[in-house]
Every structure is written in structure tokens, then in C-alpha cells.
Structure 1
Amino acid sequence: MNWQQAQKDFEHFLLIERGLAKNSVQNYSLDISKLINHLSTNEIRVSPTKITGEILQHFIYEVAKILNARSQSRIISGLKSFFNYLIFEGYRDDNPMELIESPKTGRKLPDTLSLNEIDDLIAAVDLSTNEGERNRAIIETLYGCGLRVSEVIDLNISDLYFQEGFIKITGKGDKERFVPIGEITQNYITQYLENSRNRVSVKKLASDVVFLNRRGNKLTRAMIFTIVKNLALTANLNKNISPHTFRHSFATHLLENGADLRAIQQMLGHESITTTEIYMHVDKSHLREVIKDFHPRSNY
């Protein structure tokens, strides 16, 4: 078995057997590609079934020179999964990554925006441009529904159930969920669909897609990141934000205003409640107020 075939088979396994999203599969595959490039650069001729822990340790050592601890941990985790797959398929009897430990990264708390900062970003959208209404609707959808960037670019017109107050989202692993959508977000999307989108020559493959680029195709992840970064500059917002910042802000603001954690979990599409619980670490001040106001012994 050569590296290219093993990589391709692993991608198929992750996509079909484990049901991972395409972006996750691409990240796993990228880790293997980095290892393959390392072997090629150093003229190390060894197959996936014969590679040793010593060779892999040297690869991780080289990776550590250019990547932070969090990125190192992701690569180590990805390679461990790859070699576990080879064991599962009977190509190996051992995992050469077994004794390689991930660096300690700690838990990074998510960045959030205040409501005023979000309002400033939306106000910074130039509605006189052809993309203005679209960009405003994108920002409002990211924050108003707490969506991942991939979920925004994959959102279809047929997924909009405005009369019922929900949108249908296809999340990680092609799992579907219904997310509530407020009137403000609905209005911005409707204005965009009825005005700006109608002025675009829509390509056939994107006929049902909500957010389009000027050529009538589906937007890319990179384009959403660019929109957010440019708005932050226009609004003089001195924070390093990304589309995911709006998702964090969505969850944090719900929690701070008394929303149930499990309800937030369902809206975010988290498989495990422990993933949602990271928002508990952002601001605990409101939890003290809950005890003060509602616990029978808080005034003793």
C-alpha cells in the first residue's frame, strides 16, 4: 500500500463510514499530505505500513518549529486516527503514533462581540453597493441564527420556513436541524432576495442557493472571512474576529440572558453538551445573579 492510496481510502472511510463533513475530511487529509511532503523532502522511502514512531517523532519535531501547540495537537490527533484506521483495516498491528503526546494547549475561551459592536458592524455595511444587502443579511444570519460559515454558504432558499419561524440547516456529518430565525434576520434576507439577488445572473447549480457572488455562484468560505474582516476595519473594531465570532456571540448572549444550555446545544448543532459548555466559561457573572435571585438560601 502506498501513501496516496492509503490517503484516498482513509478519506472515503471518514466520509462514508464515519459520516464526517467534507471540511473535516479535508483537514484530516491535509495532515497526511504534510507527512508525505516531509518524507519526500527528506528522501525517506517508507510505506504507511512500515513507518516507525521514530520517523514520525522527527516529523512532529519539524512541525513544532512552524506551528503553534493547538495546530500540532490537531496534526497528532489526525495521524493517530489515520494509523488506527490502518489497524482497523488489517494493514498494521500497531499505531506508531501511540507514544507521541500532544502539547498542552489549555482551553481557549471564545472571543465574543457585544450587541453594540455587532450593530456597529452591520451599520458599517455600504448598502449603496451591489453586495451591500447581501453582506448585511450574511452578518445578521451568522449572529441571529448562530450558524457555522459552511452552513451559511450552503443555505438554500428551500430551507427557509419564514412563516413557521425556522430555517433548516444541514450541519456536520450532513445532520439536519431546524434553527429559529427572528424577524430582523428574516427581513434582511427577504430584502436581499427580492432586490439584490434578483439582479444577479444566477448559475444553474446555484439556483436554490441563498447567498451568491456577483457571478451568480455560491460564495466561498474565504469570501465570508473577507467580508467580516473588511467590515471590522470599516467599523474601527479593534478585535481579531472571524465568522465564527458571531456564532460564539450568539451562544454567549443567549446564555447570559437566561437561555437553557441544552436549547443552545440544539440550536448550535453540537453533538455533545460538553462542546456547548465552553460558553459557561465566558462570563459567569449572570450565574451569580441567578443564585442571588432564585436560590432560597442566597439571602442567609
Structure 2
Amino acid sequence: MLMKFAIQDFKDDREFQNLSKQTIKTYQIILGEFQKFCAEKEVLNVEDVTSNIVKSYLLYCRKSKGNNPVTINTKIKNLKAFFNYMVNSDVINEKRNPMLKIEKIKTDTKIEVFSDNHIKQMLGYYRKLKGREHSFYAYRDHTIILTLLGSGMRLGELCNLKWNEIDLISGTIIVFGKNRTQASIPITDKLVKELAEYKVFCQQHFPEPSEYVFINRENKPMTTDAVKNVFKRLKAIMNFKDVRLSAHTFRHTFAHRFLMNGGDVFTLQKMLRHSNLKMTEKYLAIWGTALREQNEKYNPLNSLDV
């Protein structure tokens, strides 16, 4: 089967499986890039793809495109899903699956988080803008940062958030996460206050406010790319040299502060909506030294005469 037809079949199947638009878009980008690479190697049919071709593609992504290990692993994951589908569809034989012996590569365990100074600089910048001509962007982007920082929400979850999913009375947000899973998470009084003020601002700014929380000038929901562009502009202004300015860094910061302030890993798992506790425990492994310091400082045995 021609690669381009196989990719279309795979895309149709993912849409039938009701995967999110962002997930399908990621598949399209990666598989489209892989198809182009194969075409340049004169490999047009799925059946002709070998593990060596896949390895050559991944090496090209690392050396020529500068992809980091995390990005490479994302591409491996997507290619595995595609070729497994080809096997299940009887397009290729299971033993001919080129992804059989290709494993994810090792990644650095360092997880970046924002410091108090980083956060103060970002929020201070938007506070100064609120009284000027860019007040809409300032209110919106300021609220985006507080929502990410105060909830540990993923970027896609943020963009899909609707006002009817926020209960400002009980202080909860209904989040639709990966694989269409739904969860209700609590939010602090501070975030409730900020969201309530931002909601009033939107109602005054637009004759017919959108059902979505974070919108653009045309009153349409922001895409993930639009939010990423917000952070790109902010990164240029802040000029942070020691941390990546992204939605996921806010998520990591939420997890870090939660644990450093005495939160337990089981509650954090529910807040981050990790399906597997091991995903949450990686934070413990990385920040274990800091946790030990906290334990030495606050352990109840310190106040007992034993």
C-alpha cells in the first residue's frame, strides 16, 4: 500500500477512535515528515519500510533537525502506533513490522521549574500592561499563567476549557484530559478570584462572550499554537536563560511546589491526572534531596524529647 494512502487510513481510524484534534494533528505532522523522508529514499510503499530506514529517519531528525531525545521518543511512539495499525489491518506481516526492535532512547531526568523570581517577573510584566492599550492580552495572558500555575493543567486542557466547566462557587474545574478522561479538580480561592474578574472583563469586552475561557481578539477559542506563540513572545521579553518558558514548565512547577510544601504523591497523582503512579513518582526521584531537607526541617520527631 502506498504510504500516503496508509497514513490517510490511519488518520481516519484515529478520528473514528475519537482522539483529540491535537493528537491527530501530531500524527499528521510526524507521519507526513516520515513519508517525505521515505519518498526521498525512493521508498513509497509501507511494505518496503525497514528498521534501517526508520533508524535513518530518527538519526536525520536528531542531527539535521536538532530534535531532542523527548521529541525523538514522541516520533518513535507515533511510528509504533502507525505500524501496529498496519499489522492489525493485515497490510504488513507482524514479523515485518519495522518498529519491533526500535526502543525509546534515554532522556535526561532533569525537569525544569520556575523560581519565585521567574513568576514575579512574568506576572509583573502583565500587570503593568493592564492599564495600557493591550489590556485584553494582558488580562488574558496573566490569567493563563495563573491557571496553569494554580491547576497543573495541560496545554490542550487549557485551550478546551469552557466557562460552564468552572464552578466559581465550589471552587472546582472539570478537566477533559488525555483519552477523553474527565476529572474534577479543586482550585484555590486566589484562582477563583482571578477567574471571576477575568470573566467580568470578557463580558464587558465582548457583546456576546464565548463559551470558551481563553479566546483571541475575534472571540474564538485559542489554539495550542496560539498559546505557544504567547509564550514565545514572553520568552523574548523575559530573556530567561536558565529555564524553558512553556506550558509544561508551569505543570512541572505546580508539581514541584505541591511536593515541596508537603503535599503527598497520591493527591498529586489525582491533581495531575496521571493514569500511573510511576509517572508522578518521577518527581520524587528528581526532587528527593529537597524533600529530605524538608523532612529534616519539619519532621515531628524534632519537637519530641525522646
> Normalising TM by the smaller chain, what interval?
0.7 to 0.9
Contact 1:146 1:267 in 2 (8 A): yes
Task: Go from structure 1 to structure 2 and tell me whether the alpha carbon gap of 1:143 and 1:69 turns closer, same or farther (over 3 Å shift).
Answer: closer
Aligned counterpart in structure 2 of residue 99 of structure 1, from 98, 101, 106 = 101
- Residue aligning to 2:33: 34
Specify the alignment match of 2:164 in structure 1: 158
Cα offsets for 1:19-62 (capped at 9, x unmatched): 643323332332221221012223333x2134333443443343
Please say if residues 146 and 268 of structure 1, whose CA atoms lie closer than 8 Å, have aligned partners that are also in contact. Answer: yes
The correspondence of residues 79-228 of structure 1 with structure 2, limited to 5 A, is: 79-93=79-93, 94=95, 95-102=97-104, 104-125=105-126, 126-128=129-131, 129-200=135-206, 202=208, 207-228=210-231
Change (3 A) 1:266 1:242: same
Instruction: Find the aligned partners of 1:72 and 1:20 in 2 and give their Cα distance.
Output: 22
Matched, 1:286 2:287: no
- Quick check: 1:28–1:78 contact (8 Å CA) kept in 2? yes
Identity of aligned residues (%): 25
TM-score w.r.t. structure 1 length?
Answer: 0.86
**1:252 and 2:256 are equivalent in the alignment:** yes
- Which one has a larger percent helix, Structure 1 or Structure 2? 2
Structure 2 residue 266 is the aligned partner of structure 1 residue 262 = yes
Shift, 1:251, TM fit: 0.9
CA contact (8 A) 1:124 1:231 kept: no
* Aligned-partner residue type, residue 75 of structure 1: K
CA contact (8 A) 1:124 1:234 kept: no
Q: What CA RMSD, in Å, does the superposition of the two structures yield over aligned residues?
A: 2.7
2 CA distance for matches of 1:256 and 1:273?
A: 18
Residues 69-114 of structure 1 show CA distances to partners (whole Å, capped at 9, x for unaligned) of 3333332332222212111222221212223444x33333221112
- Displacement, 1:262? 1.4
Superposition deviation, residue 136 in structure 1:
1.5
Instruction: State whether residues 172 and 187 of structure 2, in contact with CA within 8 Å, keep that contact through their aligned partners in structure 1.
Output: yes
Q: Using the alignment, how far apart are the partners of 2:46 and 2:90 within structure 1?
A: 12
- Is residue 53 of structure 1 aligned with residue 48 of structure 2? no
Q: 1:50 to 1:256 in 2, by over 3 A?
A: same
8 A contact 2:168–2:196 mirrored in 1: no
- Aligned in 2, Cα 1:101/1:250: closer, same or farther, shift over 3 Å? closer
Q: CA deviation at 1:208?
A: 0.8
**Post-superposition offset of 1:232:** 4.5
Equivalent residues, number: 293
Q: Cα distance, 1:268 vs. partner?
A: 1.1
Given the superposition, is the C-alpha separation of residues 55 and 286 from structure 1 closer, same or farther in structure 2, using an over 3 Å criterion?
closer
The letter of the residue matching 1:114 is S
Q: Distance in 2 between matches of 1:226 and 1:52?
A: 37
Specify every segment of 5 or more residues in structure 1 that has no aligned partner in the other structure, as ranges.
Answer: none
Does the 8 Å CA contact 2:113/2:250 hold for their aligned counterparts? yes
- Describe the SS at the equivalent of 1:131: helix
Distance across 2 between alignment mates of 1:145 and 1:113: 15
Q: Scaled by the length of structure 2, what TM-score is found? A: 0.84
Would you say the 8 A contact 1:83–1:96 is kept in 2? Answer: yes
Pair 115,180 (structure 1): closer, same or farther in 2 beyond 3 Å: farther
